[in-house]
Amino acid sequence: MKMKHVLTAAVLAAVALSGCANRQQRAMQQAYANKQTLLEKYVHDRFPLVNSGKISQSDYWKGFYYAAETDPVRPADLIMAKGANTMITAAQQLEAGKITREDFEAKRREVQIQEGQEMQTLKDQYAAQQAQQDQANRAALMNYYLQTRPVTTTCFGNTCTTR
């Protein structure tokens, strides 16, 4: 009986802590959503300026890099920052006349492909971790059920079985 109270207290503590974790998780998700909105606004506002020549390619990519690096930083942001850093170098080479516009565009496409592959790898890793966590949660719930289920006795004739 004492074990049942300890397990019940443990489950109640876990539920209470998960409530705090859920609030923190929602706050972080909102912060990420706000950052994503700012990144999209940056691209929407600045890209036409690059095309019209009002700002340089290198300044555009530097701004994108700093926007990607602002808090909160997720693994996907690091992938974008890495790509932006590569594009800063390519933009500086374009502006110095060391590469052609076609070479610059080829580098941009190469960076896009690389980022896409890294993002897919990240998604696959997250999905695998999530599946592993789900399996651990199911095992913990089953264990809790087996330890707290009511004891029943079934009798057939002179034979009784207690579970």
3-class secondary structure, 1: coil
- pLDDT single digits (tens) 75-126: 888 999 999 999 999 999 999 999 999 999 999 999 999 999 999 999 999 9
Task: Give the pLDDT score at 5.
Answer: 47
Q: Which domain holds residue 64?
A: 2-162
Give the type of residue at 23: R
Q: Report the number of distinct structural domains present in the chain.
A: 1
- The model's pTM: 0.66
- pLDDT single digits (tens) 24-54: 888 888 888 888 888 899 889 998 999 898 9
Q: Is the pLDDT of residue 17 over 60?
A: no
Residue with tokens 């700012």: 38
